[in-house]
Structure 1
Amino acid sequence: MTGYPVKLYVYDLSRGLARQMSMQFVGKQIDGVWHTSVVFKGVEYYYGAGVQTASPGGTHHGQPLEVVDMGESSLSEDVVLEYLESLKDIYRAENYDLFMHNCNNFSQDLCQFLVGKDIPKHITGLPQEVLNTPFGQMMKPMIEQSLRPITTAPSAPVRASSAMATEPLKTAPEPTAAHRVEYLTSAIELQNIIKNTHCVSVFFTSSTCGPCKIAYPKYDELAERYGDQCTFVKIDINKAYEIAQQWRISATPTFKTFVDGDVIDDWKGASPPTLESNVDMLIQIAYPPHPHQKLSLRLIFHTSNRPITYDRVPPLDKIAAKLKSSGINEKILFEVIDFIKAREAGGAREAPVPNLSVWASFVQGCLSSGTSGESLFPIIDLFRVASKDIRVASWFAEEPTLSTIDKVITYANGDMRPYQVRLVTLQLLCNLFTCHLFLPHLCNELSASVSQLTTNSLLDSNSNVRLAASSLALNFTAYGQKRRIETGEEALGDISIELLVALIEGIERESDSGPTLNRLLTSLGLLLYCVPAESELFEICSGLESVNIIKRKKAVDIADKALCTEVLQLLSIP
């Protein structure tokens, strides 16, 4: 697939003064004080007063001194914008540091994500080059004070364009409440809407009705709130005589509501509170709440707000020494170790991302070259720790065919693998749940291999593996439950059945670990919450005698009795 060009714009903030005066003051030739930005799909992205945008060449820095061709990227605009959104926590305005956390660090991260390439090292290495001189150290506060207002000045933002042209995106206006209201004058059209639409609200008004104007804002507000569930109609009876006669509308405002063609309510008057109350009632009748929504499930939802992650950093120097002794001595391995050290010591602003293309190739090479499981375990563990950084996780989420993470999971699914490999792979997958770009992949392209690893690991003989698998199951079911409530979609798809069977069997077998059992129970509750009563999941629960299994577990010491009760409530009210 042909990609879009990625350009690095390079500016000299010193306007040539660095070249003229650096030898005199610093003792070495400095060609410029570099500011960079990245141009992609007609938008210039840069870091100053936070993550900023402008038309190419439209920033306060003017035209660039140099334009570097970084290659092409086939990533979609939505993916890039989501990645940039994730960088806003790292590249805040208040975090800007001319020497340690600047525009060039931002450009480096963005170019790594877009094309997997580093920006020129003479740019990223300049701050340290200056600070390595005695005069540079002495002048650091003065230099930063003089240049900070230039680097962090605001610019007029633009939106990214999906076209290759260099003009800003022309987006359609956001839908307003008025756009959600249909204006009809045809009696046949109204009849068809009432007959063929599940839920309808009709507002009979007239251009000469003063009280109607009181109800307009509230009606538009309700159309905005419930527009996805109900069709809102306005009819001016001065223009729709046939409708007024057919429905015997003698006064305005008059409201009628319908569900599946039947009249639910009929009232007159312009009271906004009455209007809101009656429309709320209409929605309740048209979409009665699931019986599960009436239950108090504090324990099930208490642990599902955030994904479970594994943040422990292993002894990095020991890992490096062990891998060296095994003959694994590639440069990228130690660059990743240094990245993790810098990230842990000073946060993301102190840790430029290493070359992830090289790291991906290295990991894949180890997986396919017959590297022993004992050596692969620490390499995957480093992958786990590095993936805590949203920049790393996002890059791998957009890797073609998800080849690296797919190969890691496939390897961990193999027979006779050391339990440590399965353990750190499960923990790696848990960490990826913090990256929004990865979530659809985990439930779609990677679902079969992830499901196999999770379900097999829930029944593993090693208690640590079972605990990590129960954490991954909890992350999956929490994500699925959230999507089910927000969109009505079953995000987990075919994973649900395999996961359900493994959860019930895991609950029955678990006798050692209270935390593992509790996560299994919580996962089961989230998997079933607000699932349609006719769902196959409830049939499977019945066939596997899940109620009796949980009742027996409720009697054992390691079980949370109240949590068992909540799950039993869900099972009793499908």
Structure 2
Amino acid sequence: MSNTVQIYVYDLSNGLSRQLSRQLTGKQLDGIWHTSVVVFGREIFYGQGILEASPGKSHHGKPLQIVDMGETAIDEDTFNEYLVEMRQHYTADKEPTSVPFVTYKVFAEFNCNSFTNDCVGFLTGGSIPAWIKDLPSDFLSTPFGAALRPTIDAMFRRPVPGQAPTAPILQPSPETTAAAISASPNPGLAASLLQSVTSQAFLPTSSDTSASTSSLTAPPSVSTSTVSAPIHICTNPSSLHALLRSHRAVVVFFTSATCGPCRMIEPAFEDLAYSKTHGSQQDRIAFVKVDMAVGLGGQVGAEYNIRATPTFTFFLDEKKVHELKGVNVTELRTQVDLLLYHAFPPHTHASLSLPSVESISTNPILFTQRPTINNIITKLDEFITSASPSPATIAAKDTLAHSFPLYLGARFPAADSKAAPPKNMNAGAHLLQTWADATCSIAKTLPAAKVFPLVDLWRLAVLDDSIGSWCATASSFTNPVEIFLGKAVQALDESQADARNCVLVTLRLLSNTFATTTLAKSLLSLSGGRSEITRMLVSSLLHKDAAVRTAAASLAFNVAAFLQKGRVDKLRGVGGEIEEDGDWETELVSAVLEAISNEVQSEEAVHRLTAALAFFLRLSPAYETQLVPLLEVLQARQTLEGKLLKGGCGEEGVQKKEVRKLIEEVARKLCT
């Protein structure tokens, strides 16, 4: 035989919350809700432990609203056994301090509404309405709500059975009341609201109320000491299933009262629950605690094969997607952020299916070929000698010609060498500064057309992490990377016909700087070489020489991949800030599109440019506001699709299948 299940809803503010909440908190809150479950002709609720009265006969009077929750097939004896189990969890405990005090807190995890939700879950498999469950997060996100928390707690202080009461036992302290009132822009209204809640909240000794309170049978949960943790308590499978149905993202903490590691990580779990469900975020994710030793908590754990505590399980759309065991606060935070990232993509592109784009590695394109170092030194010597060098330049050449090639030869053995690269080989700061000073002296003497052998040595050198890291912090006046960059940009600006080799090798050098993250970050910073790299790219992408254009496309890809990786890391909460600049990205996207349009010879260049365009566009904060209008004006989709047609790139257009798929995907999904 089935029985009807209802919940009775009471407003502790007696209507004042609906009238005054917007003035007091800035939000419309229709009530400060107290609920009870009514079944088998009994009204059962949580206050000073689990209490019971005839329906509508409790000290709260007539319910404001009655909500039908369906019917239950569970018999009354089974429900009574469940309540006995619940009394171990929903107790009238006192805190570890000397002040007698019930664990009931209106805005804590152990409150009348969480108890009602647990009972409804056990009886029907459903859950109470969200407008009741989510009251704590909504209310506590306001300054007045935050100040009111200790006052609300104080309203429910009761003496422990058998212990002499402390007077006054039914009044919040003047300090907590004053703090809540002062947090409101209208103290008079705030005082009225508090008085109304106070008068409704206390449990009088009435013959109309038949209540029983269990004695303390287990240590109080750590979480009962805070009112700021909007955590759902589940003691049965039905209650958890209801929460999984009502939230896209759910984190479940399996714990037990006797688990020491659980107590260690519980404060971090509570902090996450508060920070991730605060204010406007309250409907995004649910944080749930299951005590394996309480009620049917063991059945909940068995369903998900939980064998040890603490264990955290992560659910997305009712499916378990990850499990974390033990005390690892950093990993817990990371997994919560990752769950939110997948449940609520922070960018329109994050929910797009882009298999071709996602298959592109964000690793930089590097030019690692080892030149014949002795030939490079010989060529450099010829160029310096023909330039009528000063004694200082000759001394710089002699300095550079000895230790620098020796280090590079040992660090990067020739392909046919049997010697293995030495482990943990690092150039000291003093030696690096000596090489950099000598390089600066020679670069000032040689024209751009004759400096490329020296550039090629540093092109190889920056692949060494110790050299790349040193360049990241070196002065711009002696930093070889910035010196060569400036020289190549000048050659491009002046259209120096004989500077092709300098431009080509400098582009490869710049691509290799992305082997060291700190060096790439410094070069792309607003205060670093970003403007010079941009000038270099814009000019060299349209160079008449195919090798130069391909090298420029490689550099463009590395810049875009660096941005893309930073954006993904930032969205997942595992990386630092990156310096976004919509105007800069617009300039680069425009240059890349023009280069794609003009490139009719090199399919490799088109491939790298399209990949760069994809990374510039995907997840860009400036996509909607600046890049979309640019893509429309420049007819980006038509430009890309033109590369697939005859004559678009080569006689038959782009031929490689994977390149064609990438072009189609970028054109149709990111450029429209």
Classify the TM-score, shorter chain: 0.5 to 0.7
1:353 maps to which of 419, 427, 452: 427
> Which of the numbers 546, 562, 574 marks the counterpart of 2:661?
562
Task: Give the Cα–Cα distance (whole angstroms) in 2 for the partners of residues 267 and 477 of structure 1.
Answer: 40
CA distance in 1, matches of 2:578, 2:382: 48
Partners in 1 of 2:589 and 2:273 — Cα distance? 31
Q: In the TM superposition, what is the alpha-carbon distance from 1:466 to its structure 2 partner?
A: 0.8
Shift of 1:363: 1.5
Q: 466, 483, 488: which one pairs with 1:407?
A: 483
Instruction: Give 1:433 shift.
Output: 0.6
The answer as to whether partners of 1:364 and 1:407 remain within 8 angstroms in 2 is yes
Is the 8 Å Cα contact of residues 350 and 619 (structure 2) preserved in structure 1?
yes
| Percent of aligned positions that are identical | 23
Q: Is the 8 A contact 1:510 1:517 kept in 2?
A: yes
Structure 2 match to 1:292: 349
Structure-1 separation of matches of 2:590 and 2:345: 29
Q: 1:229 to 1:539 in 2, by over 3 A?
A: farther
Match of 1:457 among 540, 553, 557: 540
Alignment of 1:81-480 (within 5 A): 191-194=138-141, 202-203=230-231, 213-214=255-256, 231=275, 259-260=280-281, 271=300, 276-277=314-315, 283=340, 287-288=344-345, 290-326=347-383, 327=385, 329-345=397-413, 346=419, 347-349=421-423, 353=427, 355-369=431-445, 371-401=446-476, 403-404=478-479, 405-414=481-490, 415-417=494-496, 418-444=499-525, 445-480=528-563
Matches within 5 A, 1:56-75: none
Query: What is the rounded CA distance, in whole Å, between the counterparts of 1:462 and 1:545 in structure 2?
Result: 26
Measure how far apart 1:401 and its partner are: 4.0
Amino acid at match of 1:530: L
Query: 1:432, CA displacement in angstroms?
Result: 1.0
User: 1:539-558, aligned counterparts within 5 Å?
Assistant: 539-555=629-645, 556=648, 557-558=652-653
Q: Does 1:522 align with 2:611?
A: yes
Distance 2:602 2:459 in 1: 24
Are residues 265 and 426 of structure 1, via their aligned partners in 2, closer, same or farther at CA, if it must alter by over 3 Å? closer
What SS does structure 2 have at the residue aligned with 1:277? strand
Code of the residue aligned with 1:538 in structure 2: it is: V
The equivalent position to 1:499 in structure 2, one of 573, 577, 588, is 588
1:313 offset after TM fit, Å?
Answer: 1.9
Q: TM-score with structure 2 length normalisation?
A: 0.47
The alpha carbon displacement at 1:360 in A equals 0.7
**501-510 vs 393-402, greater mean Cα deviation:** 393-402
Secondary structure of 1:487's match? helix
| Contact 1:184/1:190, CA 8 A, preserved across alignment | no
Q: Gaps spanning 5+ residues in structure 1: where?
A: 1-181, 234-256
The 1:530–1:361 alpha-carbon spacing in structure 2 relative to 1, beyond 3 Å, is same
Residues 415-472 of structure 1 show CA distances to partners (whole Å, capped at 9, x for unaligned) of: 2340111111111111111112212212211111111111211111111111111111
Equivalent residue of 2:230, what SS? strand
Aligned length: 363
- 2: CA distance, partners of 1:266 / 1:432: 44
Alpha-carbon distance change, 548 to 364 in structure 1, aligned in 2, over 3 angstroms? same
Report how far residue 397 of structure 1 moved: 1.2
In structure 2, the CA distance between the partners of 1:288 and 1:351, relative to structure 1 (3 Å rule), is: closer
Does structure 1 residue 509 correspond to structure 2 residue 590?
A: no
Question: In the alignment, which residue of structure 2 is the partner of 1:41?
Answer: none
* Alignment partners' CA distance in 2, 1:416 and 1:352: 39
Aligned partners of 2:405, 2:565: CA distance in 1, in Å? 35
Q: Deviations over 1:15-42 (max 9, x none)?
A: xxxxxxxxxxxxxxxxxxxxxxxxxxxx
> Do the aligned partners of 1:259 and 1:286 also contact (CA within 8 Å) in 2?
no
Runs (5+) with no aligned partner, structure 2 = 1-106, 112-133, 146-227, 235-252, 291-296, 305-311, 320-338, 386-393, 414-418, 572-576
The AA in structure 2 aligned to 1:299 is S
Output the CA distance in 1 between the equivalents of 2:663 and 2:380.
Answer: 45
Tell me, in whole angstroms, the C-alpha distance in 2 between the residues paired with 1:188 and 1:378: 70
Deviation at residue 506 of structure 1 after TM alignment: 0.6
Distance 1:462 1:526 in 2: 25
Output the CA distance in 1 between the equivalents of 2:593 and 2:502: 25
Distance in 1 between residues matched to 2:565 and 2:407, nearest whole Å: 34
Distance 2:356 2:229 in 1: 39
Question: CA 1:190 to 1:322, structure 2 compared with 1: closer, same or farther past 3 Å?
Answer: closer
Judged with a 3 Å threshold, the aligned counterparts in structure 2 of structure 1 residues 229 and 268 are, in CA distance, closer, same or farther, namely closer
Q: Which one has more relative contact order, counting CA pairs under 8 Å at least 6 apart?
A: 1
The structure whose Rg is larger is 2
- RMSD over aligned Cα atoms: 4.2
Distance 1:477 1:452 in 2: 16
Q: Deviations over 1:156-208 (max 9, x none)?
A: xxxxxxxxxxxxxxxxxxxxxxxxxx9899999955544599xx9711569xx
Counterpart residue identity of residue 300, structure 1:
V
Preserved CA contact (<8 Å) 1:340 1:386 = yes
Quick one: structure 1 residues 546 and 385, their matched pair in 2 at CA, closer, same or farther if it must change by over 3 Å?
Answer: same
Code of the residue aligned with 1:571 in structure 2: it is L
Question: What amino acid sits opposite 2:586 in the alignment?
Answer: I
Against the structure 1 CA distance between its residues 510 and 226, is the aligned structure 2 distance closer, same or farther, given a 3 Å change threshold? farther
How far apart are 1:544 and its partner, in Å?
A: 1.0
